[in-house]
Amino acid sequence: MRWTGGTCSTRKQCDPVRGPTECLLGQCMCPEGYCATPHGECMLRKSVEGKYIGTYSIQFLHPVVYNKPYFGVATPDWNVLAITDNTTATWKMALMEPGIVRFESEIEQYKGLILHIRHEGDDPKSGRLPVLSKLPALTPNDATFQIRSLGKDRGFEIWDPQHLKALASVRPTGDTQRSFQVAWALRARRGVGECRGCRQERQAVIFDPQLPDEAISYGPRMVIQPPDVIHEATSGAVGGLLMLLLIFLLCWILAPSPRRNVRQEDPRDERERQRGGAAVVD
């Protein structure tokens, strides 16, 4: 992947933190010989080039709809991830970094499309859906997922490090049965959705055949943000601290000095002391 996920124009150059880039049609692209990492940075192709590790079936360990535990694609909603009873291995996986993968559909009519998460509708608050899209339309972290171990014999979690949620088994929209997951209905129109606070067993999955160890993460959940976003946030924080320091110094310099509570001595007091001293001598 050459697109870093960054944008540019005649007035806005690509952020230097992305490494060597070139602005093509408003997009910050890696030059020839370079590839974008999942973090959106350009590095030499040999050092970041991913590799395919095989084609797998993905199955929920504890599905809400028990007779449809596998990942598929909804036929009416051609690009929406859906639950199915099809056991065929239809997900080609590419290893980008240890524990970081990309999912590519091997289903005939959706072959080559990449799994990612998008907002449902124009409103960001309307929920997100796992969908399939063509790779050139995606940023590196759009198509990046962490395969995280949940412990021995407890399966794995497919974690979205950009939106900080996991894929989970959820009651499909339109199902007449009520469940505690009804609030997530818009996020799982076809039975697969994103959630962060759901019960962990709802997001537990297994892969067939078995994943290689290099594809599994045994650490905490990752957070992946574009480098220019991190850079802008850091720069803004540093700028804010410098501004507060400047305001403090100006206030300290311009503040009036506190009046010293020093009593001015009256010359008459000195004469009185001299007289008293003379009387003692006499």
Instruction: Give me the mean pLDDT over the 235-253 stretch.
Output: 68
pLDDT at 106: 93
Domain map (residue ranges) of the chain: 50-218
Average pLDDT over residues 174-184: 44
What is the DSSP track for 87-140?
A: -S--EEEEEEETTEEEEEE-SGGGTT-EEEEEESSS-GGG-EEEEEE-GGGS-T
Fold entry, domain 50-218: Trefoil (Acidic Fibroblast Growth Factor, subunit A) (2.80.10)
Query: Residues 28-83: pLDDT tens digits?
Result: 989 988 888 888 888 887 766 678 999 999 999 999 889 999 999 876 556 888 89
Say which DSSP state 46 is in.
Answer: H
Task: Give 173's pLDDT tier (boundaries 50, 70, 90).
Answer: low
Task: Give the pLDDT band of residue 186 (cuts 50, 70, 90).
Answer: very low
Instruction: Please give the share of the chain, as a percent, with pLDDT higher than 70.
Output: 71
Cβ burial of 28 (10 Å; 0-12, 13-18, 19+) is buried
Q: What was the pLDDT predicted at 253?
A: 77
Say if residue 261's pLDDT is above 60: no
pLDDT of res. 70: 95
Average pLDDT over residues 214-227: 86
pLDDT in the model for residue 258: 55
